[in-house]
A and B are shown apart, each in its own frame.
Chain A
Amino acid sequence: MNLQQHNISDNNFEQCIKCTVCTVYCPVAAVNPDYPGPKQAGPDGERLRLKRPDFYDEALKYCINCKRCEVACPSNVRIGDIIQMARIKYSKKKPKVRDFILANTDLVGTLSTPFAPVVNATLGLKPVKAILDGVMQIDHRRTFPKYAFGTFESWYKKQAEKQACFPQQVSYFHGCYVNYNNPPLGKDLVKVMNAMGVGVQLLKKEKCCGVALISNGFIHQAQKQAAQNISSIRESVVDKQIPVIATSSTCAFTIRDEYPHLLGIQNADVRDHIELATRYIYRLLSQKEIKLNFKKNTKIKVAYHTPCHLEKLGWAYYSIELLKLIPNIELTVLDSQCCGIAGTYGFKKENYKTSQNIGESLFKQIEACDIDYVVTDCETCKWQIEMSTSKPCEHPISILAKALEDRE
């Protein structure tokens, strides 16, 4: 028997050689001493939990699932996945009503958009914030993303016919944020795509990607939505041969990696055809002779912030390179670090301080820059940056759309 080839561990956590670089890169461990850090919460803790499940420590809820530990790990240990799986498997804490509301972005968005002006005004009121804080444990210092009056999907319906005329097609996973809060970003995407001769379709049925459901402990619902999304994506990719793009780095990451790793929803047949809008555009530009018609004499100064999940995808490069194509752009690339909000995490009263402490050095760096916009691919990073700094924050697609000549 050739022992050395025979006995090879297939337990991912056993590949850890305890170098501890993950804990060095963990944004939470640096500011919250109650969090044991990714090494201890992940591979070390897994070993103890295998001994006895009561080694599960509720402090694992402090993990923001940014996956920066996995990016740092030289041994390919899926540390973030180990921690999230442990939460799914062992946590005995039931999600609160608050968590239900924060997690169900689809439902809350559907209920809010018809009454957007009222909802937005109400959520900004001090007494309302005080009630949310006291009763719901949603921190009163947090500003809420504004709801749009009318969804992106309803706007798109009027465009569908025109979009179908383009020779090349792409399916757009717009996500809850574009649908309920920021339809202009979706419109910008359509504009940019059309400028390259690509028509935009929507999936047959799109549900929230489920990232907030996962982090708030609603696993069965997340699995249900994931299965529906993958079936719609499969219809587009496999049946119609149309690739799928997303503007949200977190949606793209969740569908590609969290579905198979955390939810057990297999996507291997379509995974390579789900990508970020900026990467799709960059690749299209490098393959085809397309001339983008940029406005002349515009000057713009921006700083790019790399969202954690985009760092994990390894795709920040495409967004940055795309921005560089804009004439007369002055681009600063900010240090890649977590802004602290981590989706719904930063909304929770108990996390507010951790959240703001994590982002502090990023905010300082932004304030020190002479810029018109911070640019990032993640909507929750945008909320955090706009709330915590004096600068507006936009998606690279919106910046690109602004720079393009309006076509009649």
Chain B
Amino acid sequence: MKQDDIRKSYDVIIIGGGATGAGVARDCSRRGLQVLLIERFDISTGATGRNHGLLHSGARYAVTDPESARECIEENKILRKIASHCVEETDGLFLSLPEDDIQYQALFVKACREAGIRADVIDPREALLLEPSANSAIIGAVRVPDGSVDPFRLTASNIIDAKDHGAKVLTYQEVTELLREQDRIVGVKVWDHKTKEKTTYYASVVVNAGGIWGHNIANLAGITINMLPAKGALLIFGHRVNNMVLNRCRKPADADILVPGDTISLIGTTSTQIPFEEIDHMLVTAKEVDLLLQEGEKLSPQLAQTRILRAYAGVRPLVASEDDPSGRTVSRGIVLLDHAVRDGLEGFITITGGKLMTYRLMAEWTTDLICKKLNVNAVCTTATEKLPGSRETTEVVEKKMISVPLAQRNSTIYRHGDRAEKLSDTSSLDTSLVCECEEVSVGEVKYALNELDVNNLVDLRRRTRVGMGTCQGELCACRAAGLMSSMHKYCTRRAKEDLASFLNERWKGMAPIAWGDTLRENEYIAWVYEGVCGLTLAQKQEE
């Protein structure tokens, strides 16, 4: 362990590599600032990677929170343009079931239209033709411009663009101290989880974009932000059940959104307030699984006969404005705190609240404030400039990749947009598959390892979907670990440790729903890795 005293100075240090942090890094770097982004684990490990992946139209908030609704529909339109490769334009339906008050529909449609959200009341029979998986008992349906968005790709694209504009990104480095000089934050002290070294970085402005963990980061400066950690659990089904987003047309409640995301469908969420001690160790309970299934089946009865792949939970970074234990009536509005104004502490900003949908707007507001503080006169371009991956149409990219096998070509373009072109010049080794469920090729893994800041198998999963298919790592994990090892990402011993921790991470999500074919498959995985390959999985779990 050594102390690094070399002064490294930036205009802005951003703490947190979620969508918001990545968005701030992109915006700042595009406006010519020297940017350093610090993330304690991998990018999008927090709430960014643990939500529905719903491209809200804002309709869900139209009745209860018109301000959020307006923000959502604005950003919805922007994301379709700037992040087309992360977005699927599925549209959504708000369904009224026989037990729902049909009067609510009129209120809902009126509120949507006031917020600028297109909302078309359609005949339930037409709705069932559009989405055959919907509950056939519906008595009403409204079509809205919902969609799905992949938060991992969205964050990764923002990071790529930030780096293209000179930003520096550090992952697996944790801020342990905020350096204070009189009434000013001047830098951060960082602990490197890989090298076990401490480094100090200086900047004119430090941005706290740590989501729920921002509560602790603010504490480092002696500042209290009253946050409410609200846990939301979700279930992933093994394949796409629905091709349109399904919502309940009623006041937002538990488990009333079913989203088609890439190869799967997601039902969520629950909402439970949890103590801060639990935010790093969330487990989905049997009660939550129960609730998600019970409510989910009301939207789409065939969920009852569909294999569940995993369960997971995220924490909403809600800022308490009133004393509400459920955390639901709290506004999802954006909270931008200039601590110079709020607490008399210069050089420190907290950006929190909001939602995945409004990450770009949050970044814009934050960057506007930073520029004001630094006397920089530069306009925001993030609403018009397309993200890397979204700059060419799918048809154009397809033509360049015609030699790649069809399923693999479709999957890679879906994941990387025009960046997939990097995989167009392929040998037979490069087109052989690492992950068969999700069609991830050797070439794609190599690209991720070379260009997308991958340190371990879990990072690789976030960039490529390796291990996210129905086999949950059974066939791909060892192939990917082998590739990482041969590309000198780590040694054999580390490869084995990483393999074990990856498989245990997969099991964590399967454990709450481990029955039927999912359990059978997991037994097979354990047998292959422990019984045949001699990997020790149990021991690693205890660490």
Contact = CB atoms under 8 A, between A and B. Distances in A.
Interface in A46-70: 46-48, 50-52, 54-55, 57-59
Interface stretch (B6-14, B138-146, B170-178, B404-412): B404-412
Nearest to A56: B406
Contacts of A19: 524
Contacts of A48: 263, 407, 410-411, 439
Nearest to B262: A51
Contacts of A10: 305
A234 to B, nearest CB: 32
Contacts of A4: 515-516
B436 A18 contact: yes
B517 A57 contact: no
A17 B520 contact: yes
Contact of B240 (A18, A39, A51): A51
A10 B524 CA distance: 21
Nearest to A4: B515
Given A3-B515, A7-B516, A14 B410 contact: no
A355 to B, nearest CB: 22
A7 B286 CA distance: 13
B106 interface: no
Contact of A3 (B293, B406, B439, B517): B293
A69 to B, nearest CB: 15
Interface string B259-294: 010110000000000000000000000100110011
A383 B515 CA distance: 49
A57 B286 contact: no
Q: Is the interface of A mostly helix, strand, loop or mixed?
A: helix
B516 A54 contact: no
A405 interface: no
A54 B520 CA distance: 31
B524 A17 contact: yes
B516 A52 contact: no
B470 A14 contact: yes
B225 interface: no
Interface residues of A, number: 33
B527 to A, nearest CB: 10
A20 B294 contact: no
Interface in A8-22: 8-11, 14-20
A20 B262 contact: no
Contacts of A40: 407, 436
A6 B307 CA distance: 11
A55 B406 contact: yes
A15 B524 contact: no
Contacts of B450: none
Contact of B307 (A11, A51, A54): A11
A75 B469 CA distance: 18
Interface residues of B, number: 37
B368 interface: no
Contacts of A7: 293, 303-306, 308, 513, 515-516
Contact of B406 (A14, A46, A47, A57): A57
Contacts of A197: none
B198 interface: no
Given A14-B306, A14-B307, A17-B521, A9 B290 contact: no
B517 A15 contact: yes
Contact of B239 (A11, A36, A75): A11
A272 B45 CA distance: 57
Contacts of A321: none
A18 B475 contact: yes
Contacts of B308: 7
A52 B406 CA distance: 12
B53 interface: no
A11 B515 contact: no
Given A1-B294, A6-B304, A18 B515 contact: no
A16 B308 CA distance: 13
A6 B524 contact: no
B452 interface: no
B305 A3 contact: no
A9 B238 contact: yes
A8 B405 CA distance: 34
Contacts of B411: 48
Given A16-B470, A44-B436, 11 more contacts: A3-B515, A7-B513, A7-B516, A9-B238, A14-B307, A18-B436, A18-B474, A39-B436, A48-B407, A55-B406, A57-B405
30 contacts: A4-B515, A4-B516, A6-B293, A7-B293, A7-B306, A9-B516, A11-B239, A11-B307, A14-B239, A14-B307, A14-B470, A14-B517, A16-B470, A17-B471, A17-B517, A18-B436, A18-B475, A36-B405, A44-B437, A47-B238, A47-B239, A47-B263, A48-B263, A48-B439, A50-B239, A51-B239, A51-B240, A55-B406, A57-B406, A59-B405
Interface of B: 238-240, 260, 262-263, 286, 289-290, 293-294, 303-308, 405-407, 410-411, 436-437, 439, 469-471, 474-475, 513, 515-517, 520-521, 524
Sorted from nearest, which 8 A-B pairs have the closest CB atoms? A9-B307, A4-B515, A18-B471, A10-B305, A14-B307, A17-B521, A47-B239, A57-B406
